[in-house]
Amino acid sequence: MSAMSMVINSIKRGVIPLVYLFYGKEHYLINQTLDSLYRALVPEGIADFNYEKLDGQVVSPAQVVESAGMIPVFADKRLVVVNNAPWFSSVKSDGDETPEQSVEPLLRYLENPSPTTCLVLVGGEKIDLRKKTVKIIKQTGQLIQFPSLWGKELNGWIEEQFRKHGKTIDRSALEYLSMAVGNNLSLLASEIEKIVIYLGAEEQVGYHDVTRIISPSSLITVFNLMDMVGQRRASTAIQQLREITKTGEQEIKILSLLARHFRILIHVQVMDKKGLREHEITRELGLASFITKKAISQCRNFTEEELVQGLEILLEADVAIKTGKGEPLSLLETTILKMCSRNQSKVQLSHQQYEINI
């Protein structure tokens, strides 16, 4: 169950914790969840008395406690939201350690929170589970992590957004949309809204509907990069990679798109060797036709062993980046150089290990 679904289900059951700690990279979902809490707890017309939003970089823990201790007016609960709460990480943004003594008022409140307030503390991307503040909230409230969405979770989120508008999106359209826009939910929501407006009363979202609206910048650059890798043009591939990162694309996203693309190439190559035609491969894998056409051309630049080895190299780089074993761009460049080499060590791995989740 997603983080947002957990909170919404609590709202529906009428069981809302007195203290939440939200953290993680997906700020869009955090804001959406805060909106859901606001609609559930704050009656119209009296928000000034029952809702307060604070900035943790400006207010002190004592001020947070003072706000949380106020009595609601003509409502069951007050909602107090503290953004940028710095008391759950060992190191602040300026590099100074967070002094434990400064959070004493907050610690006392967390041990015995007001029954008439829902206090939502929004931390950073990471929290320190060893911190006393975090340990107490685990006991008296609820920790909710909002990680970035990828793969099935991302596709499920996209499908849910269309369902809210009374529409369904077919597999090839979903494939194109997620690859072209990536996992920036704010941007995806904007593009989905454009598609919904474009379709009007039409309920089915097809591939051509999406391609008429979406500018596939990320998708095009990944295909171009793969062309360079397939032709073993290492220097041009590195240059292409650097151009992509200059647009603001994160290395981990590029890596994810490349790994997914390699999985597709592995399956397409197997089907191509079996003699399946382009439209048959498209139907079997649920791909957009333009992806199939490009993948057939690209997979012929690699042996099966090279494709599997290339995916292994990408997965190793993914682990290295996520565990901080090097500078992301440098690791990705090294990965590209390895994939461009024809001297990769051969591996005996079945393509069935790399199922495509589309």
DSSP string across 144-193: EE-PPP-HHHHHHHHHHHHHHTT-EE-HHHHHHHHHHH-S-HHHHHHHHH
**Which domains are seen in the chain, by residue range?**
3-145 (3.40.50.300), 151-213 (1.10.8.60), 217-353 (1.20.272.10)
- Is pTM beyond 0.75? Reply is no
Mean pLDDT, the chain, whole residue set: 85
User: Who's near 113: CB < 8 A, 6+ residues apart?
Assistant: 18, 19, 68, 119, 140, 141
Kindly report the number of other CB atoms within 10 A of residue 142's CB atom.
Answer: 16
Kindly report the number of other CB atoms within 10 A of residue 51's CB atom.
Answer: 18
- Higher per-residue pLDDT: 355 or 82: 82
The percent of residues above 70 in pLDDT, for the chain, comes to 88
What pLDDT was estimated at residue 216? 57
137-160 confidence digits (pLDDT tens): 999 999 999 988 877 788 889 999
Q: Which of 40, 64, 43 is nearest to 52 (CA)?
A: 64
191-206 confidence digits (pLDDT tens): 999 999 999 999 999 9
5-44 confidence digits (pLDDT tens): 888 888 888 889 999 999 998 999 999 999 999 999 999 8
295-347 confidence digits (pLDDT tens): 898 899 888 988 989 889 988 998 998 888 889 999 999 998 988 876 544 43
